[in-house]
Structure 1
Amino acid sequence: MNSTSNQEPWQWPDTQWQMLVDRVRAGRPLKPGTWKNGARCAFAVSFDSDHETSDLRDGGRSISRLSAGQYSSRAGIPRIADILRRHDVPATFFVPAVSALLHPDEQRALCGAGHEIAMHGWIHELNSMLPAAAERELYLRASDTLTAICGERPVGLRTPSWDFSDHTLAIIAEMGLLYDSSLMGDDDCYELVGGGQPTGIVEIPVEWIRDDSPYLAMNRFSSLRPYTPPAAVLDIFIREFEAAYAEGGLFQLTLHPHVIGHRSRIWILEEIVRLAKSRPDVWFTTHRDLAQWVSEHAD
Protein backbone atom coordinates (compact mmCIF):
# COMPACT_ATOMS: atom_id res chain seq x y z
CA MET A 1 0.00 0.00 0.00
CA ASN A 2 1.45 3.37 -1.07
CA SER A 3 -0.64 5.50 1.28
CA THR A 4 -0.92 5.33 5.05
CA SER A 5 -4.13 7.39 5.19
CA ASN A 6 -6.31 4.31 5.65
CA GLN A 7 -3.97 2.55 8.02
CA GLU A 8 -4.09 2.45 11.79
CA PRO A 9 -1.03 3.94 13.54
CA TRP A 10 0.15 0.48 14.55
CA GLN A 11 0.25 -0.43 10.84
CA TRP A 12 2.41 2.52 9.80
CA PRO A 13 5.92 2.09 8.44
CA ASP A 14 8.57 3.59 10.68
CA THR A 15 9.00 6.55 8.33
CA GLN A 16 5.41 7.67 8.98
CA TRP A 17 5.53 8.07 12.75
CA GLN A 18 9.08 9.42 12.55
CA MET A 19 7.93 12.10 10.11
CA LEU A 20 5.08 13.16 12.42
CA VAL A 21 7.33 13.39 15.46
CA ASP A 22 10.02 15.31 13.59
CA ARG A 23 7.75 18.13 12.37
CA VAL A 24 8.57 20.26 15.42
CA ARG A 25 10.77 19.03 18.25
CA ALA A 26 12.77 20.30 21.19
CA GLY A 27 16.37 20.85 20.16
CA ARG A 28 19.41 21.84 22.17
CA PRO A 29 18.76 23.04 25.73
CA LEU A 30 19.11 26.77 26.23
CA LYS A 31 19.46 26.79 29.99
CA PRO A 32 22.32 29.22 30.68
CA GLY A 33 25.11 28.61 33.13
CA THR A 34 24.03 31.73 34.96
CA TRP A 35 21.10 34.08 34.76
CA LYS A 36 21.33 37.85 34.38
CA ASN A 37 23.15 39.60 37.24
CA GLY A 38 24.21 36.21 38.58
CA ALA A 39 20.66 35.25 39.55
CA ARG A 40 19.88 31.67 40.49
CA CYS A 41 16.41 31.50 38.93
CA ALA A 42 14.41 33.30 36.24
CA PHE A 43 10.81 34.34 36.93
CA ALA A 44 8.73 35.07 33.81
CA VAL A 45 5.04 35.78 34.31
CA SER A 46 2.75 36.23 31.33
CA PHE A 47 -0.87 37.19 30.74
CA ASP A 48 -3.01 36.14 27.80
CA SER A 49 -5.26 39.15 27.20
CA ASP A 50 -7.95 37.25 25.32
CA HIS A 51 -10.71 39.64 26.43
CA GLU A 52 -13.71 39.52 24.07
CA THR A 53 -11.92 37.31 21.53
CA SER A 54 -12.64 34.22 23.62
CA ASP A 55 -16.18 34.42 22.23
CA LEU A 56 -15.62 36.45 19.06
CA ARG A 57 -13.60 33.62 17.50
CA ASP A 58 -16.73 31.45 17.79
CA GLY A 59 -18.93 34.09 16.20
CA GLY A 60 -19.63 36.39 19.15
CA ARG A 61 -22.98 34.78 19.84
CA SER A 62 -22.89 35.07 23.63
CA ILE A 63 -23.39 38.55 25.05
CA SER A 64 -22.68 37.04 28.47
CA ARG A 65 -19.24 35.75 27.44
CA LEU A 66 -18.48 39.01 25.68
CA SER A 67 -19.23 40.85 28.93
CA ALA A 68 -16.82 38.52 30.76
CA GLY A 69 -14.21 39.52 28.20
CA GLN A 70 -14.95 43.17 28.89
CA TYR A 71 -14.48 42.48 32.61
CA SER A 72 -11.02 41.19 31.76
CA SER A 73 -9.98 44.64 30.57
CA ARG A 74 -12.07 46.79 32.93
CA ALA A 75 -11.25 45.02 36.19
CA GLY A 76 -8.65 42.32 35.62
CA ILE A 77 -5.94 44.32 33.89
CA PRO A 78 -5.99 47.23 36.38
CA ARG A 79 -5.59 44.81 39.31
CA ILE A 80 -2.78 42.98 37.57
CA ALA A 81 -1.01 46.21 36.57
CA ASP A 82 -1.25 47.49 40.14
CA ILE A 83 0.42 44.38 41.58
CA LEU A 84 3.17 44.44 38.97
CA ARG A 85 3.77 48.14 39.64
CA ARG A 86 3.90 47.80 43.42
CA HIS A 87 6.34 44.89 43.27
CA ASP A 88 8.34 46.25 40.31
CA VAL A 89 7.85 43.11 38.23
CA PRO A 90 7.95 43.23 34.41
CA ALA A 91 5.58 40.95 32.52
CA THR A 92 4.64 39.87 29.03
CA PHE A 93 1.11 40.33 27.73
CA PHE A 94 0.15 38.12 24.80
CA VAL A 95 -2.57 40.06 23.03
CA PRO A 96 -4.80 39.02 20.12
CA ALA A 97 -4.84 41.88 17.63
CA VAL A 98 -8.60 42.28 17.97
CA SER A 99 -8.19 42.69 21.75
CA ALA A 100 -5.59 45.37 21.06
CA LEU A 101 -7.93 47.17 18.65
CA LEU A 102 -10.76 47.04 21.20
CA HIS A 103 -8.50 48.30 24.02
CA PRO A 104 -5.58 50.24 22.47
CA ASP A 105 -5.02 52.52 25.47
CA GLU A 106 -4.56 49.45 27.66
CA GLN A 107 -1.72 48.20 25.47
CA ARG A 108 -0.05 51.61 25.34
CA ALA A 109 -0.24 51.95 29.12
CA LEU A 110 1.30 48.52 29.64
CA CYS A 111 4.10 49.31 27.18
CA GLY A 112 4.67 52.61 28.95
CA ALA A 113 5.03 50.77 32.24
CA GLY A 114 7.84 48.64 30.81
CA HIS A 115 5.90 45.49 29.99
CA GLU A 116 6.14 43.53 26.74
CA ILE A 117 3.27 43.20 24.28
CA ALA A 118 3.57 40.02 22.22
CA MET A 119 1.49 38.26 19.59
CA HIS A 120 -1.45 35.98 20.37
CA GLY A 121 -3.06 35.64 16.96
CA TRP A 122 -5.64 37.85 15.30
CA ILE A 123 -8.95 36.91 16.94
CA HIS A 124 -7.78 33.96 19.07
CA GLU A 125 -8.31 31.68 16.10
CA LEU A 126 -7.39 27.98 16.11
CA ASN A 127 -4.41 27.63 13.79
CA SER A 128 -4.84 23.92 13.10
CA MET A 129 -8.24 24.65 11.53
CA LEU A 130 -6.87 27.26 9.11
CA PRO A 131 -5.27 26.97 5.67
CA ALA A 132 -1.58 27.85 5.79
CA ALA A 133 -2.11 31.05 3.79
CA ALA A 134 -4.82 32.26 6.17
CA GLU A 135 -2.71 31.56 9.26
CA ARG A 136 0.22 33.44 7.72
CA GLU A 137 -1.92 36.42 6.71
CA LEU A 138 -3.48 36.71 10.17
CA TYR A 139 -0.09 36.68 11.90
CA LEU A 140 1.33 39.30 9.56
CA ARG A 141 -1.75 41.48 10.08
CA ALA A 142 -1.58 40.96 13.84
CA SER A 143 2.07 41.99 13.93
CA ASP A 144 1.34 45.16 11.97
CA THR A 145 -1.58 45.99 14.25
CA LEU A 146 0.40 45.63 17.48
CA THR A 147 3.24 47.63 15.95
CA ALA A 148 0.90 50.48 15.03
CA ILE A 149 -0.67 50.57 18.50
CA CYS A 150 2.43 50.07 20.65
CA GLY A 151 5.10 51.68 18.52
CA GLU A 152 7.36 48.63 18.40
CA ARG A 153 7.18 45.37 16.50
CA PRO A 154 6.53 42.26 18.61
CA VAL A 155 9.30 39.66 18.70
CA GLY A 156 7.42 36.76 20.27
CA LEU A 157 4.36 34.65 19.69
CA ARG A 158 2.03 32.51 21.76
CA THR A 159 -0.40 30.67 19.54
CA PRO A 160 -4.05 31.01 20.61
CA SER A 161 -4.99 28.07 22.84
CA TRP A 162 -1.41 26.83 22.28
CA ASP A 163 -2.67 25.43 18.97
CA PHE A 164 0.49 24.93 16.89
CA SER A 165 -0.23 23.93 13.29
CA ASP A 166 1.99 22.18 10.75
CA HIS A 167 2.74 25.62 9.27
CA THR A 168 3.26 27.73 12.40
CA LEU A 169 7.01 27.21 12.72
CA ALA A 170 7.67 28.20 9.12
CA ILE A 171 5.63 31.37 9.60
CA ILE A 172 7.54 32.23 12.79
CA ALA A 173 10.83 31.77 10.95
CA GLU A 174 9.68 33.85 7.96
CA MET A 175 8.65 36.68 10.29
CA GLY A 176 12.03 36.61 12.03
CA LEU A 177 10.54 36.25 15.49
CA LEU A 178 12.91 35.72 18.38
CA TYR A 179 10.81 33.25 20.32
CA ASP A 180 7.67 31.18 20.63
CA SER A 181 5.85 30.31 23.85
CA SER A 182 3.27 27.67 22.93
CA LEU A 183 4.90 24.26 23.35
CA MET A 184 5.69 21.96 26.25
CA GLY A 185 8.90 20.06 25.50
CA ASP A 186 10.81 21.00 28.67
CA ASP A 187 10.74 23.06 31.85
CA ASP A 188 13.52 25.33 30.59
CA CYS A 189 14.06 27.08 27.28
CA TYR A 190 15.20 25.18 24.21
CA GLU A 191 15.82 25.71 20.52
CA LEU A 192 13.04 24.69 18.16
CA VAL A 193 13.92 22.08 15.55
CA GLY A 194 11.77 21.74 12.43
CA GLY A 195 12.07 18.73 10.14
CA GLY A 196 15.31 17.80 11.87
CA GLN A 197 16.89 21.23 11.30
CA PRO A 198 17.74 23.73 14.07
CA THR A 199 15.90 27.01 13.57
CA GLY A 200 17.57 29.39 16.02
CA ILE A 201 14.12 30.16 17.46
CA VAL A 202 13.85 30.07 21.24
CA GLU A 203 11.00 28.13 22.79
CA ILE A 204 9.84 29.41 26.20
CA PRO A 205 7.81 26.38 27.24
CA VAL A 206 4.39 26.60 28.79
CA GLU A 207 2.45 23.96 30.74
CA TRP A 208 -1.21 23.59 31.72
CA ILE A 209 0.03 22.96 35.27
CA ARG A 210 1.35 26.55 35.36
CA ASP A 211 -1.83 28.05 33.87
CA ASP A 212 -4.81 29.39 35.81
CA SER A 213 -7.40 28.46 33.19
CA PRO A 214 -7.62 24.66 33.66
CA TYR A 215 -8.27 25.11 37.37
CA LEU A 216 -10.50 28.17 37.45
CA ALA A 217 -12.19 28.77 34.08
CA MET A 218 -15.94 28.48 33.55
CA ASN A 219 -18.16 27.93 30.50
CA ARG A 220 -21.76 27.04 31.23
CA PHE A 221 -22.31 25.69 27.70
CA SER A 222 -19.54 23.13 28.01
CA SER A 223 -18.16 20.78 30.62
CA LEU A 224 -15.64 23.42 31.72
CA ARG A 225 -16.18 24.17 35.40
CA PRO A 226 -13.88 25.53 38.15
CA TYR A 227 -12.79 22.58 40.23
CA THR A 228 -9.75 23.74 42.23
CA PRO A 229 -9.87 26.17 45.17
CA PRO A 230 -7.64 29.22 44.72
CA ALA A 231 -5.49 28.18 47.69
CA ALA A 232 -4.75 24.86 45.99
CA VAL A 233 -3.85 26.63 42.75
CA LEU A 234 -1.36 28.78 44.64
CA ASP A 235 0.09 25.65 46.25
CA ILE A 236 0.72 24.13 42.82
CA PHE A 237 2.38 27.32 41.57
CA ILE A 238 4.53 27.50 44.71
CA ARG A 239 5.75 23.93 44.22
CA GLU A 240 6.61 24.69 40.60
CA PHE A 241 8.54 27.79 41.65
CA GLU A 242 10.37 26.03 44.48
CA ALA A 243 11.53 23.29 42.11
CA ALA A 244 12.66 25.81 39.50
CA TYR A 245 14.58 27.71 42.16
CA ALA A 246 16.22 24.54 43.49
CA GLU A 247 17.27 23.54 39.96
CA GLY A 248 18.50 27.01 39.04
CA GLY A 249 16.05 27.08 36.16
CA LEU A 250 13.06 28.94 34.77
CA PHE A 251 9.70 29.53 36.44
CA GLN A 252 7.25 30.50 33.69
CA LEU A 253 3.62 31.26 34.54
CA THR A 254 0.61 31.83 32.25
CA LEU A 255 -2.38 33.73 33.61
CA HIS A 256 -5.55 35.24 32.10
CA PRO A 257 -6.98 38.59 33.23
CA HIS A 258 -10.55 37.25 32.95
CA VAL A 259 -9.62 34.31 35.21
CA ILE A 260 -7.03 35.51 37.73
CA GLY A 261 -8.36 39.08 37.82
CA HIS A 262 -11.31 38.39 40.12
CA ARG A 263 -11.24 39.51 43.75
CA SER A 264 -11.05 35.99 45.19
CA ARG A 265 -8.18 35.00 42.88
CA ILE A 266 -5.95 38.02 42.24
CA TRP A 267 -4.17 37.38 45.54
CA ILE A 268 -2.65 34.24 43.94
CA LEU A 269 -0.54 36.47 41.70
CA GLU A 270 0.54 38.68 44.56
CA GLU A 271 1.46 35.74 46.80
CA ILE A 272 3.61 33.98 44.20
CA VAL A 273 5.36 37.29 43.46
CA ARG A 274 5.93 37.90 47.17
CA LEU A 275 7.42 34.43 47.57
CA ALA A 276 9.79 34.93 44.65
CA LYS A 277 10.74 38.39 45.94
CA SER A 278 11.59 36.89 49.32
CA ARG A 279 14.24 34.65 47.75
CA PRO A 280 17.68 35.98 46.89
CA ASP A 281 18.88 35.99 43.31
CA VAL A 282 15.64 35.80 41.32
CA TRP A 283 15.63 37.54 37.95
CA PHE A 284 12.19 38.94 37.07
CA THR A 285 12.02 39.25 33.31
CA THR A 286 9.82 39.62 30.28
CA HIS A 287 9.70 36.74 27.81
CA ARG A 288 11.51 38.94 25.28
CA ASP A 289 14.47 39.58 27.57
CA LEU A 290 14.48 35.96 28.69
CA ALA A 291 14.68 34.71 25.11
CA GLN A 292 17.44 37.18 24.30
CA TRP A 293 19.45 36.11 27.34
CA VAL A 294 19.26 32.37 26.75
CA SER A 295 20.02 32.76 23.04
CA GLU A 296 23.22 34.59 23.92
CA HIS A 297 24.30 32.77 27.11
CA ALA A 298 23.21 29.15 26.79
CA ASP A 299 25.92 26.61 27.62
Structure 2
Amino acid sequence: MIRTPIKWPNGARCACAISFDIDADSLIHISRPKDGHDRLYPISMGKYGPTVAIPRILETYRKFGLKQSFFAPGWVVEQYPDAMEMILKDGHEIGHHGYLHEDPTDHGPAEQRAWFERAMDSHKRVIGNNPRGYRAPVYNVNQTVIDLLIEHEFLYDSSLMADDIPYQMKTDQGSLVELPVHWGTDDWPTFAHYAEIDYMMPIVGPSHGLQGFWEEFEAQYTAGGFWLAIWHPFLTGRLARWQQVETWLEGVLNRGDVWFAPLHEIAAHVRAEAAKDSTAVRLEELPYYTRPVLF
Protein backbone atom coordinates (compact mmCIF):
# COMPACT_ATOMS: atom_id res chain seq x y z
CA MET A 1 0.00 0.00 0.00
CA ILE A 2 0.99 3.63 -0.44
CA ARG A 3 2.51 4.84 2.82
CA THR A 4 1.01 8.29 3.42
CA PRO A 5 -1.30 9.47 0.64
CA ILE A 6 -1.09 13.15 -0.21
CA LYS A 7 -4.34 15.02 0.40
CA TRP A 8 -5.78 15.93 -2.99
CA PRO A 9 -7.98 18.99 -3.64
CA ASN A 10 -11.75 19.00 -3.03
CA GLY A 11 -11.69 15.65 -1.31
CA ALA A 12 -10.58 13.79 -4.43
CA ARG A 13 -9.59 10.20 -3.81
CA CYS A 14 -6.95 10.05 -6.54
CA ALA A 15 -4.90 12.48 -8.64
CA CYS A 16 -4.61 11.59 -12.32
CA ALA A 17 -3.00 12.88 -15.48
CA ILE A 18 -2.67 11.76 -19.08
CA SER A 19 0.58 13.06 -20.49
CA PHE A 20 1.44 12.81 -24.17
CA ASP A 21 5.02 12.84 -25.46
CA ILE A 22 4.73 14.37 -28.94
CA ASP A 23 7.86 12.86 -30.43
CA ALA A 24 6.44 13.01 -33.98
CA ASP A 25 9.15 12.10 -36.50
CA SER A 26 12.04 13.33 -34.35
CA LEU A 27 12.78 9.68 -33.51
CA ILE A 28 13.84 8.64 -37.00
CA HIS A 29 16.03 11.70 -37.47
CA ILE A 30 17.94 11.19 -34.23
CA SER A 31 18.23 7.42 -34.64
CA ARG A 32 19.15 7.43 -38.35
CA PRO A 33 20.85 10.81 -38.91
CA LYS A 34 22.32 9.89 -42.32
CA ASP A 35 19.20 8.71 -44.10
CA GLY A 36 16.27 9.25 -41.72
CA HIS A 37 15.07 12.16 -43.85
CA ASP A 38 14.32 9.71 -46.68
CA ARG A 39 12.62 6.95 -44.67
CA LEU A 40 9.04 7.82 -45.46
CA TYR A 41 7.21 5.13 -43.49
CA PRO A 42 8.58 6.14 -40.04
CA ILE A 43 8.31 9.83 -40.92
CA SER A 44 4.65 9.37 -41.82
CA MET A 45 4.01 7.32 -38.68
CA GLY A 46 5.46 10.09 -36.54
CA LYS A 47 3.62 12.86 -38.38
CA TYR A 48 0.33 11.15 -37.59
CA GLY A 49 0.74 12.40 -34.03
CA PRO A 50 0.62 16.17 -34.45
CA THR A 51 -1.49 16.18 -37.61
CA VAL A 52 -4.21 13.59 -36.91
CA ALA A 53 -4.05 12.38 -33.30
CA ILE A 54 -3.61 15.73 -31.52
CA PRO A 55 -6.86 17.22 -32.91
CA ARG A 56 -8.68 14.01 -31.92
CA ILE A 57 -7.23 14.10 -28.39
CA LEU A 58 -8.05 17.77 -27.94
CA GLU A 59 -11.63 17.18 -29.05
CA THR A 60 -12.04 14.57 -26.30
CA TYR A 61 -10.53 16.89 -23.72
CA ARG A 62 -12.96 19.65 -24.73
CA LYS A 63 -15.83 17.18 -24.46
CA PHE A 64 -14.95 16.35 -20.85
CA GLY A 65 -13.58 19.76 -19.84
CA LEU A 66 -10.09 18.42 -19.16
CA LYS A 67 -6.78 20.29 -19.10
CA GLN A 68 -3.76 18.00 -19.42
CA SER A 69 -0.02 17.94 -20.20
CA PHE A 70 1.99 17.39 -23.36
CA PHE A 71 5.77 17.18 -23.78
CA ALA A 72 7.40 18.15 -27.05
CA PRO A 73 11.01 18.22 -28.25
CA GLY A 74 12.10 21.69 -29.38
CA TRP A 75 12.51 20.49 -32.96
CA VAL A 76 8.91 19.24 -32.95
CA VAL A 77 7.77 22.63 -31.68
CA GLU A 78 9.54 24.20 -34.66
CA GLN A 79 8.17 21.70 -37.20
CA TYR A 80 4.57 21.62 -35.95
CA PRO A 81 3.76 25.07 -34.52
CA ASP A 82 0.08 24.82 -35.46
CA ALA A 83 -0.38 21.73 -33.31
CA MET A 84 1.43 23.44 -30.42
CA GLU A 85 -0.78 26.51 -30.74
CA MET A 86 -3.89 24.31 -30.68
CA ILE A 87 -2.73 22.73 -27.45
CA LEU A 88 -1.94 26.02 -25.76
CA LYS A 89 -5.13 27.67 -27.04
CA ASP A 90 -7.16 25.01 -25.25
CA GLY A 91 -5.34 25.72 -21.98
CA HIS A 92 -3.08 22.66 -21.83
CA GLU A 93 0.54 22.50 -20.76
CA ILE A 94 3.52 21.86 -23.05
CA GLY A 95 6.64 20.66 -21.24
CA HIS A 96 10.30 20.31 -22.22
CA HIS A 97 11.30 17.01 -23.86
CA GLY A 98 14.78 17.67 -25.20
CA TYR A 99 15.51 19.16 -28.60
CA LEU A 100 15.54 16.20 -31.04
CA HIS A 101 14.66 13.48 -28.53
CA GLU A 102 18.37 13.05 -27.87
CA ASP A 103 19.47 10.88 -24.95
CA PRO A 104 20.91 13.32 -22.38
CA THR A 105 23.29 10.70 -20.99
CA ASP A 106 25.01 10.38 -24.37
CA HIS A 107 26.51 13.85 -23.90
CA GLY A 108 28.85 15.63 -21.54
CA PRO A 109 27.71 18.60 -19.43
CA ALA A 110 28.47 21.26 -22.06
CA GLU A 111 26.63 19.37 -24.80
CA GLN A 112 23.70 18.68 -22.48
CA ARG A 113 23.39 22.38 -21.71
CA ALA A 114 23.49 23.25 -25.42
CA TRP A 115 20.72 20.79 -26.30
CA PHE A 116 18.64 21.75 -23.26
CA GLU A 117 18.84 25.49 -23.87
CA ARG A 118 18.27 25.11 -27.60
CA ALA A 119 14.97 23.42 -26.78
CA MET A 120 14.10 26.18 -24.31
CA ASP A 121 14.71 28.72 -27.06
CA SER A 122 12.43 26.83 -29.46
CA HIS A 123 9.56 26.88 -26.99
CA LYS A 124 9.94 30.58 -26.25
CA ARG A 125 10.66 31.77 -29.78
CA VAL A 126 8.09 29.74 -31.71
CA ILE A 127 5.08 29.59 -29.38
CA GLY A 128 5.95 31.88 -26.47
CA ASN A 129 5.93 28.95 -24.06
CA ASN A 130 8.10 28.86 -20.95
CA PRO A 131 8.08 25.20 -19.84
CA ARG A 132 7.63 24.50 -16.15
CA GLY A 133 8.02 20.75 -16.42
CA TYR A 134 10.44 18.32 -18.01
CA ARG A 135 10.41 14.74 -19.20
CA ALA A 136 13.69 13.26 -20.37
CA PRO A 137 13.81 11.43 -23.69
CA VAL A 138 13.85 7.69 -22.84
CA TYR A 139 13.64 8.76 -19.16
CA ASN A 140 17.42 9.15 -19.06
CA VAL A 141 18.25 11.70 -16.38
CA ASN A 142 21.60 12.28 -14.73
CA GLN A 143 22.73 14.84 -12.20
CA THR A 144 23.56 17.39 -14.89
CA VAL A 145 19.94 17.32 -16.04
CA ILE A 146 18.67 17.88 -12.50
CA ASP A 147 21.08 20.79 -12.07
CA LEU A 148 19.88 22.37 -15.34
CA LEU A 149 16.25 22.06 -14.27
CA ILE A 150 16.93 23.76 -10.96
CA GLU A 151 19.06 26.46 -12.59
CA HIS A 152 16.24 27.24 -15.03
CA GLU A 153 13.66 27.27 -12.22
CA PHE A 154 11.59 24.32 -13.37
CA LEU A 155 8.82 23.27 -11.02
CA TYR A 156 8.95 19.56 -11.69
CA ASP A 157 10.49 16.61 -13.46
CA SER A 158 8.52 13.58 -14.66
CA SER A 159 11.12 11.01 -15.66
CA LEU A 160 12.07 9.01 -12.56
CA MET A 161 10.65 6.00 -10.77
CA ALA A 162 11.44 6.10 -7.04
CA ASP A 163 7.88 6.06 -5.72
CA ASP A 164 4.20 5.42 -6.48
CA ILE A 165 3.27 9.00 -5.62
CA PRO A 166 4.89 12.42 -6.10
CA TYR A 167 7.91 13.29 -4.01
CA GLN A 168 10.48 16.06 -3.76
CA MET A 169 14.13 15.96 -4.79
CA LYS A 170 16.64 18.25 -3.12
CA THR A 171 20.22 19.17 -4.03
CA ASP A 172 22.59 21.80 -2.73
CA GLN A 173 21.28 24.05 -5.51
CA GLY A 174 17.55 23.74 -4.89
CA SER A 175 14.62 21.38 -5.22
CA LEU A 176 12.16 19.88 -7.69
CA VAL A 177 8.92 18.01 -7.45
CA GLU A 178 9.13 14.56 -9.05
CA LEU A 179 5.96 13.24 -10.67
CA PRO A 180 7.06 9.63 -11.08
CA VAL A 181 6.60 7.48 -14.15
CA HIS A 182 6.95 3.75 -14.72
CA TRP A 183 6.79 1.39 -17.66
CA GLY A 184 3.47 -0.10 -16.53
CA THR A 185 1.69 3.11 -17.54
CA ASP A 186 3.74 3.82 -20.69
CA ASP A 187 2.29 2.78 -24.06
CA TRP A 188 5.70 2.13 -25.65
CA PRO A 189 6.05 -1.49 -24.43
CA THR A 190 2.47 -2.19 -25.44
CA PHE A 191 2.16 -0.60 -28.87
CA ALA A 192 5.56 0.43 -30.27
CA HIS A 193 6.52 -1.47 -33.41
CA TYR A 194 9.45 0.45 -34.82
CA ALA A 195 12.27 -1.55 -36.36
CA GLU A 196 14.38 1.50 -37.22
CA ILE A 197 15.00 2.23 -33.55
CA ASP A 198 15.12 -1.43 -32.48
CA TYR A 199 11.68 -1.66 -30.88
CA MET A 200 9.55 -4.50 -32.20
CA MET A 201 6.79 -5.00 -29.67
CA PRO A 202 4.01 -7.48 -30.50
CA ILE A 203 1.01 -5.39 -31.43
CA VAL A 204 -2.11 -6.33 -29.44
CA GLY A 205 -5.73 -5.28 -29.67
CA PRO A 206 -6.70 -1.94 -28.08
CA SER A 207 -8.76 -3.42 -25.24
CA HIS A 208 -6.02 -5.91 -24.35
CA GLY A 209 -3.21 -3.38 -24.71
CA LEU A 210 -4.91 -0.78 -22.53
CA GLN A 211 -6.20 -3.13 -19.84
CA GLY A 212 -3.00 -2.83 -17.81
CA PHE A 213 -3.42 0.93 -17.59
CA TRP A 214 -6.91 0.58 -16.13
CA GLU A 215 -5.65 -1.97 -13.60
CA GLU A 216 -2.88 0.41 -12.56
CA PHE A 217 -5.50 3.14 -12.13
CA GLU A 218 -7.72 0.99 -9.92
CA ALA A 219 -4.80 0.22 -7.63
CA GLN A 220 -3.99 3.93 -7.25
CA TYR A 221 -7.65 4.81 -6.81
CA THR A 222 -8.03 2.25 -4.02
CA ALA A 223 -4.89 3.53 -2.30
CA GLY A 224 -5.71 7.22 -2.74
CA GLY A 225 -2.62 7.77 -4.85
CA PHE A 226 -1.44 9.11 -8.19
CA TRP A 227 -2.03 7.65 -11.67
CA LEU A 228 -0.02 9.01 -14.59
CA ALA A 229 -0.28 7.74 -18.16
CA ILE A 230 2.69 8.33 -20.47
CA TRP A 231 1.39 8.03 -24.00
CA HIS A 232 2.41 8.98 -27.53
CA PRO A 233 -0.09 10.46 -29.99
CA PHE A 234 1.02 8.21 -32.86
CA LEU A 235 0.46 5.14 -30.65
CA THR A 236 -2.47 5.60 -28.27
CA GLY A 237 -3.91 8.43 -30.36
CA ARG A 238 -4.86 5.92 -33.08
CA LEU A 239 -8.59 5.70 -33.64
CA ALA A 240 -9.54 2.35 -32.07
CA ARG A 241 -7.24 2.87 -29.09
CA TRP A 242 -8.47 6.37 -28.46
CA GLN A 243 -12.08 5.23 -28.57
CA GLN A 244 -11.21 2.85 -25.73
CA VAL A 245 -9.62 5.72 -23.80
CA GLU A 246 -12.63 7.98 -24.29
CA THR A 247 -15.02 5.32 -23.02
CA TRP A 248 -12.82 4.69 -19.98
CA LEU A 249 -12.46 8.40 -19.27
CA GLU A 250 -16.20 8.94 -19.26
CA GLY A 251 -16.69 6.16 -16.71
CA VAL A 252 -13.90 7.37 -14.42
CA LEU A 253 -15.02 10.98 -14.49
CA ASN A 254 -18.55 9.92 -13.59
CA ARG A 255 -17.22 8.65 -10.26
CA GLY A 256 -16.90 12.29 -9.22
CA ASP A 257 -13.95 11.84 -6.86
CA VAL A 258 -11.01 11.74 -9.27
CA TRP A 259 -8.88 14.83 -9.84
CA PHE A 260 -7.56 15.15 -13.40
CA ALA A 261 -5.16 18.06 -13.80
CA PRO A 262 -2.15 19.12 -15.85
CA LEU A 263 1.10 18.09 -14.24
CA HIS A 264 2.16 21.61 -13.32
CA GLU A 265 -0.99 21.97 -11.20
CA ILE A 266 -0.38 18.64 -9.49
CA ALA A 267 3.26 19.60 -8.82
CA ALA A 268 2.22 22.99 -7.40
CA HIS A 269 -0.26 21.26 -5.11
CA VAL A 270 2.42 18.81 -3.93
CA ARG A 271 4.81 21.65 -3.18
CA ALA A 272 2.11 23.52 -1.27
CA GLU A 273 1.29 20.44 0.80
CA ALA A 274 4.97 20.00 1.62
CA ALA A 275 5.21 23.63 2.70
CA LYS A 276 2.30 23.15 5.10
CA ASP A 277 3.61 19.87 6.53
CA SER A 278 7.18 18.73 5.92
CA THR A 279 6.15 15.11 6.53
CA ALA A 280 3.38 15.14 3.91
CA VAL A 281 5.70 14.62 0.93
CA ARG A 282 8.72 12.35 0.90
CA LEU A 283 12.09 14.01 0.27
CA GLU A 284 14.99 12.45 -1.64
CA GLU A 285 18.42 14.05 -1.50
CA LEU A 286 20.57 14.07 -4.64
CA PRO A 287 23.00 13.13 -6.00
CA TYR A 288 22.47 9.47 -5.22
CA TYR A 289 26.16 8.73 -5.84
CA THR A 290 29.17 10.85 -6.71
CA ARG A 291 31.42 8.14 -8.20
CA PRO A 292 31.19 4.63 -9.63
CA VAL A 293 30.49 2.17 -6.85
CA LEU A 294 33.03 -0.41 -8.09
CA PHE A 295 36.03 1.91 -7.75
TM over 0.5: yes
How far 1:250 sits from its partner (Å)?
0.8
- The aligned residue for residue 13 of structure 1 is none
Deviation string, structure 1 residues 239-269 (Cα, Å, up to 9, x no partner): 1111111111111111100101212211232
- The aligned residue for residue 89 of structure 1 is 66
How far 1:161 sits from its partner (Å)?
1.1
How far 1:104 sits from its partner (Å)?
0.6
Deviation string, structure 1 residues 186-219 (Cα, Å, up to 9, x no partner): 110011245xx69420000011110111101111
Q: Assess, with a 3 A threshold, how the Cα gap between structure 1 residues 180 and 70 changes in structure 2: closer, same or farther.
A: same
TM-score when scaled to structure 1? 0.85
How far 1:223 sits from its partner (Å)?
5.0
Q: Assess, with a 3 A threshold, how the Cα gap between structure 1 residues 122 and 223 changes in structure 2: closer, same or farther.
A: closer
- Higher mean displacement: 113-122 or 231-240: 231-240
Q: Assess, with a 3 A threshold, how the Cα gap between structure 1 residues 42 and 53 changes in structure 2: closer, same or farther.
A: same
User: Identical aligned pairs, as a percentage?
Assistant: 33
SS of the residue corresponding to residue 167 of structure 1 reads: helix
- Higher mean displacement: 255-264 or 266-275: 266-275
- The aligned residue for residue 169 of structure 1 is 146
Correspondence 1:236-275 to 2 at 5 A: 236-275=212-251
- The aligned residue for residue 20 of structure 2 is 47
TM-score when scaled to structure 2? 0.86
- The aligned residue for residue 23 of structure 1 is none
Amino acid at match of 2:16: F
User: RMSD of the alignment, in Å?
Assistant: 1.8
Q: Assess, with a 3 A threshold, how the Cα gap between structure 1 residues 56 and 223 changes in structure 2: closer, same or farther.
A: closer
- Higher mean displacement: 143-152 or 160-169: 143-152
SS of the residue corresponding to residue 264 of structure 1 reads: helix
How far 1:220 sits from its partner (Å)?
3.1
Corresponding residue to 2:211 among 224, 235, 257: 235
- The aligned residue for residue 18 of structure 1 is none
- The aligned residue for residue 266 of structure 2 is 290
- The aligned residue for residue 98 of structure 2 is 121
Q: Does 2:94 correspond to 1:140?
A: no
- The aligned residue for residue 182 of structure 2 is 207
Amino acid at match of 1:150: I
Structure 2 unaligned blocks of 5 or more: 275-279, 281-295
Amino acid at match of 2:65: D
- The aligned residue for residue 86 of structure 2 is 109
* Residues 147, 173 of structure 2: 8 Å contact kept: no
Q: Does 2:28 correspond to 1:77?
A: no
* Residues 92, 286 of structure 1: 8 Å contact kept: yes
How far 1:280 sits from its partner (Å)?
2.1
Amino acid at match of 1:254: I
